[in-house]
Chain A
Amino acid sequence: MKPRHFTYVLALLGACVLFPVQAVRAESGRLLASNCFQCHGTEGRSQGGIDRLAGMGANKLIGEMKEMRAKTPGNDMMKVHARAYTDAQLNDIAAYFANVR
């Protein structure tokens, strides 16, 4: 655990140095992602019947959303929601769920 913890701290410092201006917007990842909680469960921990998002890899989530964006919604509500976020917002949402344990 110790080396990994050390990596976290280094990353934390790195982020603060490299991206201080973006910090406020990035924090909204959690609030943005909370739009998914209503159907996919609090923090993406679905109660069943709808996909769990907690812990999903970011590339997978982004890839599925972009694939859905290209399709006509028909009777799939999710295909409407796939069009509801900018690429930057989608990245923030995906980063949030990737890190829910």
Chain B
Amino acid sequence: MNLHNRRQFLRLLGASSLGALVHGCGGGGDSGTGDSADTGDSGSGGGTTPVTPPVVNVSGHVVVVGGGMGGATVAKFLRLWGGQNLRVTLIERNPSYTSNILSNLVLNGQRTLSSLAYDYARLRDNYGVNVIQGEVMGIDPVARKVSLGDGSTQTYDRLVLAPGLEFDLMPGLTDYQTIPHAWQAGPQTALLAQQLAAMPAGGTFVMTIPAAPFRCPPGPYERACVVADYLKRNKPGAKVIVLDANPGIAAERASFETAFNTLHAGVIEYHAAATIDSIDPVTRLVQTNLGSIAASVLNPIPPQRAPRLVQDAGLVNVNGRWAGVDVLSYESTAHPGVHVIGDASATTQPKAGHIANAEAKVCADAIVRMLAGQAPDPAPVTNSACYSPITATTASWLTAIYHYDPASRTMKPYVTGEAASITSGNYEDMFPWFNNLMADSFG
């Protein structure tokens, strides 16, 4: 532990344990520096609940595979909460992560991909995470070992997999090189933006949405709106055809129905319960239950599943696609010692970056306790939130808070809500949300 980390560690210990304990008992008079109007009251306001010291001085090695929203967050909070003797190694194939959140704004030219890139320097320098750029080739959950593409291995006491998703090939396609799904922000996002910019006036943008569950439930509908708004201003007469495999809009229904039926009426043509029989990547003809549909620009969002690494490790045990987990710790229901967080796991929570961050914290807290020989927190809470741009200046939002339900052993929605209307205020609120979320995840 370097000096910075040691200081931070001592500060944390003081802040979150001793001080809290004093106030919790009503024994302290120093309520903090940030709130001069409210002195000496935190004990009385907080009731008589004592706050015990966090578990510290656990030792061991946790390997985290995947440096997206969940992986970065779990690595950071393991170091923050685990104390100086908990070693954390994060293995990620790319030098930086490109945020899926806000990546629809690359399509209308409001953001660049580079403005959505987050590297691992702060996790390494400020939190002491050992960051390895490499590809994990295999997992041996019995020997507790992962092997990397360069032939090296990492042994672990606990393994956290945060590997994101794998995309099915849709019928008729052999890859997504020319017909991008752009559901993982990166080169495909740039390609789709180029294709939209080159689209003729009066052209047709066709997108397909897979049956739930898929990454970012509001995301496809958000994309339809952002693209419709862009086309209205730049490609007069152009249309957006949405072919949704679901029986109806799968998330944030009130906002998107308003958007489709009023704001973007005449531009977006929405079809529920659509089936895709085949896609011709050359002619851009889509064969569907609604007949043959011609696209100028085609954006099939494929069905998704836990990546091959998770499948090969024998961790996929829900619907043949996802890794079953105990949501008190995110430990796999197939292999002890292996935790799966984020999109690859099967839970009642959405597959999205904000809640992957929340799952990561529950997982980090549980791992620290488990390494100390304790049980995980028996009553975790997680929250999901996201803002959805509807035009270049307006947005809606969606949020849900989940409490652990011991009877069903699932995270159950406790409160949910969506924006009352589509406003410019929501659009402005979107950026501080995004910036704080990314800072909380990447340091």
Interface residues of A (CB under 8 A from B): 7-8, 10-12, 14-15, 18-19, 22-32, 34-35, 37-43, 46-50, 52, 54-63, 72-75, 77, 79-81, 83-85, 88-89, 91-92, 94-96, 98-101
Contact = CB atoms under 8 A, between A and B. Distances in A.
21 contacts: A7-B28, A8-B19, A8-B21, A11-B21, A12-B22, A24-B378, A27-B54, A35-B401, A41-B439, A47-B435, A50-B432, A57-B31, A72-B420, A80-B415, A88-B47, A92-B51, A94-B45, A95-B49, A96-B16, A98-B32, A100-B32
A21 to B, nearest CB: 10
A28 B377 contact: yes
Interface stretch (B174-182, B268-276, B353-361): B353-361
A39 B385 CA distance: 9
B419 interface: yes
Shortest Cβ-Cβ A-B pairs, 10 listed: A49-B432, A55-B34, A57-B38, A59-B45, A84-B401, A55-B32, A80-B417, A58-B42, A98-B42, A58-B45
Contacts of B354: 38
Given A48-B432, A50-B433, A75-B423, A42 B27 contact: no
A89 to B, nearest CB: 7
Interface of B: 11-12, 14-16, 18-25, 27-28, 31-35, 37-39, 41-52, 54, 76-77, 80-81, 354, 357-358, 361-362, 365, 377-383, 385, 397, 399, 401, 414-417, 419-421, 423, 425-426, 429, 431-433, 435-437, 439-440
B120 to A, nearest CB: 16
A23 B437 CA distance: 30
Nearest to A30: B16
Contacts of A7: 22, 27-28
A72 to B, nearest CB: 8
Contacts of B34: 52, 54-56
Given A56-B32, A91-B47, A30 B81 contact: yes
Given A61-B45, A72-B420, A84-B414, 18 more contacts: A7-B22, A19-B25, A29-B49, A30-B54, A31-B380, A34-B358, A35-B381, A35-B383, A38-B358, A43-B12, A57-B32, A57-B38, A58-B43, A60-B37, A73-B420, A80-B401, A80-B416, A99-B32
A15 B25 CA distance: 7
Contacts of B77: 34
A101 B11 contact: yes
B14 A101 contact: yes
